Amino acid sequence: MATYIIGDIQGCCDELQQLLHLADFNPENDELWITGDLVARGPKSLQTLRFVKGLGDSAKVVLGNHDLNLLAIHQGVQDDREKDKLSNLLAAPDCDELLNWLRQQPLLIRHPQFNFVMIHAGIPPQWTIPQAEHYAKQVELELQADNYKELLTAIYDNQPNSWSNQLQGSARSRFIINALTRMRYCFLDGSLEFDHTSAPEQTDLSKLKPWFEFDSLDRSSEIIFGHWGSLLGKVNKSGIYGLDTACVWGNSLTMLRWQDKKRFSLACPIYCT
């Protein structure tokens, strides 16, 4: 059995299936771990959700910011933007079923055999990995509850951007979601920064630092993430793997086979215009 881990798919269902074929993925024996952002910007978000859901227990998914935004659109919290290409998904007869499945997915997941955890964006340098697992579970329970629209209504703000265990209610949940699904850079004091999306070599690092560059980061488990397409998978930190290689921007879809660390990559058309 092989464990494959793939970066942000974002509705690139054809490319996903081609890449799985290239790697000889067998859902009867293999696992597919997905770093989140299954939907948005690519042309086939509906088909992507149907395909991944259809893999059953062979697929392990964490939620990304685009996945949460889809849930918010469905609940009337956010507007459906044409550039996200979600209209046919939202109009599909199985939309409710698919999105109910989606909101049952975790924000952080640990492999039961291998020493790695997977999140969409990152782990704040103030948290240990066990703390990140605990905080993620708190929000997952909110998202899976009947009144989950209240959570979705409260997540659209950049504040608070500094962690305190004294945070309560929507402020606490919002920080946890922003850290796990939106973070790229932190200020030098470890507080979250959301404006910069470019790669570190194109960014003034006198005031900012990638979250994975902090010495305080807990490295007791290896960490796998997506979200940061401009990195193109270049992290250069032992035990930390970035797998978003900006497939919808005309770059590639990338998948890692954990057992031998072989990477599979497939060039993608430009879908974001």
> Residue 96 has which token pair?
């409710």
Mean pLDDT estimate for the chain: 97
Tell me the domain boundaries of the chain.
3-267
Does residue 59 carry a pLDDT above 90? yes
Q: What is the mean pLDDT of residues 99-109?
A: 98
Q: How confident is the model at residue 245 (pLDDT cuts 50, 70, 90)?
A: very high
pLDDT recorded at residue 104: 98
Does residue 273 carry a pLDDT above 80? no
* pLDDT tens profile 9-36: 999 999 999 999 999 999 999 999 999 9
Query: Which superfamily does 3-267 belong to?
Result: Metallo-dependent phosphatases (3.60.21.10)
* pLDDT tens profile 110-155: 999 999 999 999 999 999 999 999 999 999 999 999 999 999 999 9
> Residue 236 has which token pair?
């250069």
* pLDDT tens profile 157-192: 999 999 999 999 999 999 999 999 999 999 999 999
pLDDT recorded at residue 222: 98
> Residue 218 has which token pair?
């807990």
Amino acid at 130: P
> Residue 1 has which token pair?
């059995």
CA distance 67 to 85: 13
pLDDT recorded at residue 198: 97
Phi, psi of 218 (to 5 degrees): -70, 115
What percent of the chain stands above pLDDT 90? 99
pLDDT recorded at residue 136: 98
Q: Is 6 exposed, middle or buried (0-12, 13-18, 19+ CB in 10 A)?
A: buried
Identify the DSSP state of 178.
H
CA distance 88 to 23: 30
Q: How confident is the model at residue 102 (pLDDT cuts 50, 70, 90)?
A: very high
> Residue 161 has which token pair?
């951007």
Does residue 39 carry a pLDDT above 90? yes
CA distance 12 to 232: 17
Phi, psi of 271 (to 5 degrees): -105, -20
CA distance 70 to 68: 5
- Report CA dihedral (122, 126, 130, 131) to the nearest 10 degrees: -100
